[in-house]
Amino acid sequence: MPVETPVRRRRQIRRRCSPIPCLAALVLVLLAVKWIDPFAPRTIPVPDTPAWITVELLPLNEYSRPGTPLEKVNGIVVHYVGNPGTTAEQNHSYFENLAQTGETYASSHFLVGLDGEIIQNVPLDEIAYCSNERNDDTISIECCHPDDSGAFTQATYDSLVRLTRWLMEEYGLESGQVIRHYDVTGKICPKSFVEHPEEWEQFLADLSQ
């Protein structure tokens, strides 16, 4: 049997160890792919909240603020609260109490009150439970109304226009990306904008002025 020389043994050792740099390089490549993965979750930028919006964020809970990231904003959904005569603060309290009652899943990013006050309930980089299958890619606005007709007061309407315009500007949205809850599920919401389509068309027109 031939005797190996020390040189040949050293070369064999180097060949056995050579996969280590290759594995290190592979790890670096995988990390780079992970870093630039276009399908990896990303958080959306959150605009600074203007002074005319009151921020009263709901506590994290599974019924009204699950904390699920909102990864994109493709639209704005307008709703009405369905409880005639209730205020924005009362509806905010209802959302907040769901953490204890657990009676349903409900919330919205914003509430617009009878006097035009605006409350933000949920951060703009989290989903709200308001628009069914469009929760994942829209921002929701609930509006209070004084009676069963569902018609908004002028103050509510003016604040809705102002809020929607601001969101459109911040997220680069067009009026065609502003929709009613009715356009998602067929539910009569917001009632007056569904039963009187001309009012909805006027609202969309006002957004462009």
- Closest of 150, 151, 181, 8 to residue 78, by C-alpha: 181
Does residue 139 carry a pLDDT above 80? yes
Secondary structure (3-state) at 108: coil
Q: Which residue has the tokens 């919401």?
A: 189
Residues 88, 111: contact at Cβ < 8 Å?
yes
Name the pLDDT band for 108 (thresholds 50, 70, 90).
very high
Q: What is the average pLDDT score of the chain?
A: 87
Q: How many CB atoms lie within 10 A of CB 90?
A: 14
- Closest of 72, 61, 67 to residue 126, by C-alpha: 67
Q: Which residue would you say has higher pLDDT here, 40 or 127?
A: 127
pLDDT tens digits, 15-41: 444 555 545 555 454 444 333 344 444
Predicted confidence at residue 3, as pLDDT, reads 38
